[in-house]
Structure 1
């Protein structure tokens, strides 16, 4: 069943990504509101929307896709289909699509899928956002666990089809650690999107 009950809000920022990369933790940091999180992948099965009484705007944490322990493949594929459909149907209202990845494991996961001849989910989602007219932001989470930060981010740019060095893509590639509240780079990128959309009144949510 497709996702139901989208709040009657115009513009939104969506968080997309694999299960267990920290989307719900990031959502908490962005909104100041707690959502169900857990070490077990697949905790979020329906979108978590968070809006405010005044502005015509909301943040949406979409369910994680990809492998989930204890979740059958058919259900995993349905979740991914529902995520894609939601983004397609609401693309005109999405100010930013934030692809959240695990900085520690994302390169290994991408390379493993490519070695099997598959299109990695993260790469596929990045290009999908572009195809539907959404300028993606990649929130590279858990960077506190990464020693070779610049090398890792350069490798990620390479896998996504962006020319390294990563520093020239700072409105697209945002190293963060949501668990410790270190999300300044993402907030700056979102602020740029809000300004471009002439929604400067939303800057209060990322400052």
Structure 2
């Protein structure tokens, strides 16, 4: 488990930003997080931003958790945790992180249409740049771990396993959320993916 100083304590409103591209399961991940927070007795506000999600465009979910939450909007520099499902999305949204916030980055690359057409180039030193800018930083190959669990599409659940170690919520609530949000035939696979994410954060 991350050292005590890395765990985000629920003494105030906690802002979590989940960023990825269409098809990566960011919305399901945010619903799992929301279920956990509600089960722990907190108020939750969530908003979604889709940028041609079905074509691999950006998908951003803002989740705010606390005793009294009045708005779902997270402003730049206010995110306690950013979970990036893809390198370039981490790069695009890193400025939303607080100075002492946690950045969790899946090292997967999904090349956007603008790069495929030659209009732009994919940055080559994203991870190195982020490491230099962010103090509380964790990167992992979530796709590899999901494949190990049995399905590459479980990358989102791997990342929720990592996230769980940075939030002051009970393990039981996470397991219950998986049971509620994951189809029964895929539950055991996703529980394995979640466990691999938990282990990656230790």
Same fold by TM (over 0.5)? no
TM-score, length-normalised on structure 2? 0.41
TM-score, length-normalised on structure 1? 0.40
Where relative contact order (Cα < 8 A, 6+ residues apart) is larger, the structure is: 2
Instruction: Name the structure where strand makes up a greater proportion of residues.
Output: 2
